[in-house]
Amino acid sequence: MNSSAEMHRGYENHLPRRVITGRGRSAGLDGVCAAQGSKKVFLVSDRGVETAGIVEQVAAPLRRAGILAGLAAGVPPEPALTDVTALLEQIRQSAADAVIGLGGGSVMDAAKVAALCAGRGGTPSDYVGLGKAGGRGLPTILVPTTAGTGSEATFVAILSDKGAGTKVGVVDPAILADVAVVDPALTDGLPAGVTAAAGMDALVHAIEAFIASVATPLARGLALEAARQIGPALERVCSHPADTRARDAMAVGSHLAGMAFANSSCCAVHALALPLGGRFPIAHGVITGCFAGELMRHNAPACAADFAALSTALGWGTLPPEAFAARLDAVAGAIGLSAALGRVVVPAAAVAPMARDAVLIRRLVDPNPVDVSEADAERIYRAVLTIVP
Ligand SMILES: [Fe+2]
């Protein structure tokens, strides 16, 4: 539907300049830096990654090679513009010529924006919005430690603006990674809840990237291959966390899904997720995972062929829309996401404002294959959430 009819329109695709995948590949970042001519690199990470021993593991060869100019392992979850400003100051003082972001989406997003500012001047807020970069900043090497966000493959960085009480995005192809290093071994020790939420979010990225009206042919191909990797691995990695083959498939699949939605879009699942996640402390992947089934039921009239292709790629057989949606609900239940969401009670009075906010996010609602009205959004929130009077 959206692959052939719009082919004549022409497309642009944006990808990281170099992608390295493989178990243990994050141990050789000194060589990666040398290959791109970086002589003083700044390593950005967070406390969780540091506690897991991964920061030291990655930093040691850089230190031995004499190219580690500085290290900041304090990026908080959901980093604010001010957090990135503080990070930027450290990077400037180190006189680094490249930035490594080692962590989940929060760390990689902070690293992307800090590297942009360090290379081009100014502060993070100067670059909020679409296409404000004006050129590339310092080179970046992005190394995900979770399998889900796909941030190492995208040109979006989401930060919170504490003053305005909202999330803002720096969106520009100039912040794409110079090198993305996808090392599945870094995800081996992830807690079960993180594995499940991030993994299901990656699946939703693949689905939404595939069905979005703006999907490029490249994005649709990437999304289908992401589904092929994730389908057999998601429930397996949740029930058998030590299964390294499943870990490998999730790491590669989530990376492919990231490249897919970077060249397409996320859709209404993400539109409904943002107002909910902004008001209640629920992991992003718990929300997207639990809302996917109901939104795909809503999308069913336009998506029968796409759902058949996706369910086939996922290894679920060729499913009609209702069975596809039911399977998504079943997966969210099987890996504990529905239970996690059910522990959060949402006051009835919050539903209408969330629905209003969700449909205002046009960049996510417009690409959705079926329009989502405010009334639709309210109905879907009520169907999925535990509402109290
Ligand atoms: Fe997501």
Question: Which pLDDT belongs to residue 8?
Answer: 62
Question: Which pLDDT belongs to residue 171?
Answer: 95
Alpha-carbon distances of 114 from 119, 135, 150, 320, rounded to whole Å:
9, 14, 18, 45
User: What mean pLDDT is predicted for residues 102-125?
Assistant: 97
337 C-alpha to center of ligand 1: Å? 14
Backbone torsion region of residue 236, taken as left when φ is above 0, otherwise alpha when ψ lies between -120 and 50, otherwise beta: alpha
198 C-alpha to center of ligand 1: Å? 8
Which candidate, 129, 116, 49, 64, places its Cα nearest to that of 88? 116
Residue 6 has pLDDT above 80, yes or no: no
105 C-alpha to center of ligand 1: Å? 10
Measured CA to CA, the distance from residue 187 to residue 208 in angstroms comes to 24
Residue 61 has pLDDT above 70, yes or no: yes
247 C-alpha to center of ligand 1: Å? 19
DSSP 242-297: T-HHHHHHHHHHHHHHHHHHHTS---HHHHHHHHHHHHS---HHHHHHHHHHHHHH
Q: How, if at all, do strands 41-44 and 18-21 pair?
A: unpaired
Average pLDDT for the chain: 95
Share of the chain above pLDDT 90, in %: 93
150 C-alpha to center of ligand 1: Å? 9
Tens of pLDDT, residues 233-271: 999 999 999 999 999 999 999 999 999 999 999 999 999
What phi, psi does 129 have (nearest 5°)? 120, -170
99 C-alpha to center of ligand 1: Å? 24
Question: Which pLDDT belongs to residue 164?
Answer: 78
Residue 389 has pLDDT above 60, yes or no: yes
6 vs 92, residue with greater confidence:
92
269 C-alpha to center of ligand 1: Å? 9
335 C-alpha to center of ligand 1: Å? 17
User: What mean pLDDT is predicted for residues 278-300?
Assistant: 95
For residue 167, the cross-strand partners are 160
389 C-alpha to center of ligand 1: Å? 29
69 C-alpha to center of ligand 1: Å? 32
Question: Which pLDDT belongs to residue 7?
Answer: 53
8 A C-beta contact, residue 271 and residue 359: yes
DSSP 328-355: HHHHHHHTTHHHHHHTSEEEGGGHHHHH
201 C-alpha to center of ligand 1: Å? 5
Give this prediction's pTM. 0.95
User: What mean pLDDT is predicted for residues 304-310?
Assistant: 98
Residue 71 CA to its chain's centroid (Å): 24
User: What mean pLDDT is predicted for residues 157-168?
Assistant: 85
37 C-alpha to center of ligand 1: Å? 33
Question: Which pLDDT belongs to residue 162?
Answer: 83
Tens of pLDDT, residues 360-379: 999 999 999 999 999 999 99
Residue 154 CA to its chain's centroid (Å): 8
User: What mean pLDDT is predicted for residues 325-340?
Assistant: 98
291 C-alpha to center of ligand 1: Å? 11
